[in-house]
Amino acid sequence: MNQSTHIVSNPWQALRELTQARIALGRSGVSVPTSAQLDFQLAHARARDAVHMALDARALAAALAGDGHACLTVHSACPDRASYLQRPDLGRVLDAPSRAALLAAAPAACDLALVIGDGLSALAIEQNAQAFAAVLLARLRKDTGAAQWRLGPIVIASQARVAIGDEIGALLNARAVAVLIGERPGLSSPDSMGVYLSWAPRVGLTDADRNCISNVRPAGLSYDEAAYRLHYLLTQARQRGLSGVLLKDDTVAEGGLPEAGKGNFLLR
């Protein structure tokens, strides 16, 4: 007999059009419908695959080089994926050869170092990093004069955690570092990329010293919107010499900044 005749619908059914969250699935007896259970198992498998997927750093470097960007590839102190998942501390620091390579290639100074790390979803980086970098760098190139950004080489880091960007930024003599990294996969978003900004990068910074823009992907925060927000935060970080909890994202819709005296209403 067709299972659908036994499914009890949920009154929240209409809300499913507004979210990818697993709500209003209905029920069949005391269980969720078979189709919903199979969808859950597929999403879980995709999330697990995203965590274990290896980033093809060479292919990404070649693609970025094709766009005209100088690239360097580095590796954290994690020798493999298993140690990466078990030892987050090792993913936050470079291995010795990578540190030496960055020292040898470091410019005298740069305003921004862009770091791309696999993180917990190489899939997110494979699908989003190159396209987002193109949008961001195109926006930064429009700044001229004192607002211009001197860019260091793009660094692609394997087995990387967010904090590895601070060490990379310091070795490249960068005033700021932006880390594009695969976020922990969710059951509806195995391909979500995060962007983390640190001003005056150095080893020892904490999460409180960084700004985060999350869920960057076509089905989440668009590349244009994420680049707009990051550009704003970078500009404010340079003007004020800080980042993290002391730097708020006061952006509004593309096209302008909040009017004077009209910041976050929660702080009034």
Taking phi first (over 0 means left), then psi (-120 to 50 degrees means alpha), and beta for anything else, what does residue 165 get? alpha
Tokens, residue 248:
């708020």
Strand order of the sheet with strand 210-216? 71-75, 154-158, 110-117, 174-182, 193-199, 210-216
Tokens, residue 132:
């987002």
What is the rounded distance in angstroms from the CA atom of residue 19 to the CA atom of residue 161? 29
What is the rounded distance in angstroms from the CA atom of residue 182 to the CA atom of residue 161? 9
Alpha-carbon distances, residue 211 vs 36, 84, 197, 242 (angstroms): 36, 24, 5, 10
Residue (of 226, 228, 157) closest to 192 by Cα position: 226
Residue (of 215, 189, 190, 179) closest to 92 by Cα position: 179
Radius of gyration (C-alpha) of the chain in whole angstroms: 21
What is the rounded distance in angstroms from the CA atom of residue 73 to the CA atom of residue 159? 11
The verdict on whether residue 225 carries a ligand-binding annotation is: no
The verdict on whether residue 259 carries a ligand-binding annotation is: no
The verdict on whether residue 183 carries a ligand-binding annotation is: yes
- Binding-site residues, in ranges, read 162, 183, 212
Binding residues for adenosylcob(III)alamin: 162, 183, 212
